[in-house]
Amino acid sequence: MNRRDFLGHTAAFALTGLALQHPSFSDDPPVKVAVVGTGGRGTDLVRKLSTIERANIVAVCDDYEPHLTRGGEAAGPQARNYLHYEEMLQKEAIDAVIVAVPLYLHYAVCRDAIHAGCDVFCEKTMCYSVAEAQELVKLVQAHNTIFQVGLQRRASAIYRQAKAMVQTGMLGDVFSIKAQWHRNGDWRRPVPVKRDHPDWQRLERKLNWRLYWPYSQGLMTELGSHQIDVANWMLGTSPARVTAFGGTDYWKDGREVFDNVYCIYEYDKQDKEGHSYTARVTYSSIQSNAFEGASELIMGTKGTLLLTERTGLFYKEGGEETVDWQGGEQDEASAAAATITSGKTLSLSNDPWAHRGKPFEIQAGSDSTRDQLISFLDNVQQKDMKTICTVENGLINTASAIMANQAIQEGRTVEFEI
């Protein structure tokens, strides 16, 4: 029995998805990197960067001492610590800046880093407003900056495999996507002084910036941007319009941003014969119930992909004996996927989809956050502006996330305009 036959006879199997390929540049000097914002995410990025040989962390910056100390310790003794990023940009010879400050500061830090001649990796969501994102596109283009947005699913073996499966027609036509990020928690960081302390207000806003509109766009930019990016990527286009509802209904603790959002996005598409149709994406993010967590369901006429950061599952539609493969680039793994004939019933399962048979499983294999950093460093070393998530992707993502907030706030359907 050859491999193809074997896979064809197996009801379920797992494979490691399409990992990013990284060239090795042993002769290139390491990239001199600085990280601005060593809070939760920034420190995590510092830790991952310190495991990557081609990164040399020369500086870290945070304007809050406890976070700067923590970031500096994670970076190691070779990294100098700064409270002000402007001083850091002036004093240090930096190739690339990693931006992990709160959303409302992304644009200013990226702009100043670009003016200082640095390449930039900016955490999602790229900008607080569409106008800022448009300015950033112009700046990056004018300076030939190598720029990547930190939407790490673009580096994930699971999501890359999923994209290949959608592109090659394994799912049939995708008319619907259902995505969600559900949590049960207050989303708060502890404030080190009591509420009646004169500095409480300042520290509350500093540490819990994501709960207040002047610094954050709430759930849509902090969580939804990841998943709307997946929808845009899988559908190969930007949304045309969105309608949405939401509110601050459960967490009555002084926060301003919504604690639940429900959105319907519409995408204007054309099939191969040139006929127009509308694909729809429903998205919800709530903070009062964590059932089913974070996932995206890509629903095609021939099959469904259930995607999470840990695993991807492919279920064929009932009546589809084999998965129809419409050609395109076929690597060994995805070609093998086309031979699956599931359709067996999981008799002792409480899986509500058991009637569809055991799914085909894609496994992650590696850490997508680390992989996206390696990919960015590759681009910097090769002076290749085509990163896995460009500033133009970042603009579309920013606009897609923010338009849902606008729909909720203004009680109307909002058209996508950039």
Q: How many residues bind ligand NAD (CB under 6 A)?
A: 23
Q: Which of 18, 34, 39, 398 binds ligand NAD (CB under 6 A)?
A: 39
Within 350-389, which residues bind ligand NAD (CB under 6 A)? Answer: none
Is the Cβ of residue 100 or residue 263 nearer to ligand NAD in the bound state? 100
Binding characters for ligand NAD, 147-166, by CB under 6 A (x = yes): ---x-x--------------
What number of residues does the chain have? 418
Q: Smallest gap, in angstroms, from Cβ of residue 36 to ligand NAD?
A: 5
Residue 101 or 257 having the CB closest to ligand NAD: 101
Selected from 34, 36, 59, 166, the binder of ligand NAD by CB under 6 A is 36
220 binds ligand NAD (CB under 6 A): no
Decide the pairing of beta strands 276-286 and 260-270: antiparallel
What gap in Å lies between CA 216 and CA 248, rounded to an integer? Answer: 15
Any contact of residue 67 with ligand NAD (CB under 6 A)? yes
Which of 31, 34, 55, 62 is in the footprint of ligand NAD by CB under 6 A? Answer: 62
The reply on whether position 80 binds ligand NAD by CB under 6 A is no
Closest by Cα among 272, 268, 271 to 232 = 268
Q: Which of 54, 124, 154, 163 binds ligand NAD (CB under 6 A)?
A: 124
Side-chain-side CA neighbours of 250 within 13 Å: the count stands at: 14
Q: Is 328 left (phi over 0), alpha (psi -120 to 50) or beta?
A: left
Closest CA to 389 of 156, 42, 220, 179: 156
User: Which is nearest to 313 in space by CA: 293, 296, 290?
Assistant: 296
Q: Does 61 bind ligand NAD (CB under 6 A)?
A: yes
What DSSP letter does each residue of 301-335 carry, written as one string? SSEEEEE-SSEEEEEEPTT-SS-----S---HHHH
| One-letter identity of residue 92 | E
Among 17, 42, 224, 359, binds ligand NAD (CB under 6 A): 42
97-105, 248-256, 292-300, 402-410 -> range binding ligand NAD (CB under 6 A): 97-105
Task: Give the x-and-dash track for 242-261 against ligand NAD (CB under 6 A).
Answer: --------------------
Nearest to 312 by CA among 290, 283, 337: 337
Q: Based on DSSP, count helices (H) and strands (E) in the chain, helices before strands.
A: 13, 16
Summarize as ranges the residues that interact with ligand NAD (CB under 6 A): 36-42, 61-64, 67, 85, 100-103, 105, 123-124, 150, 152, 222
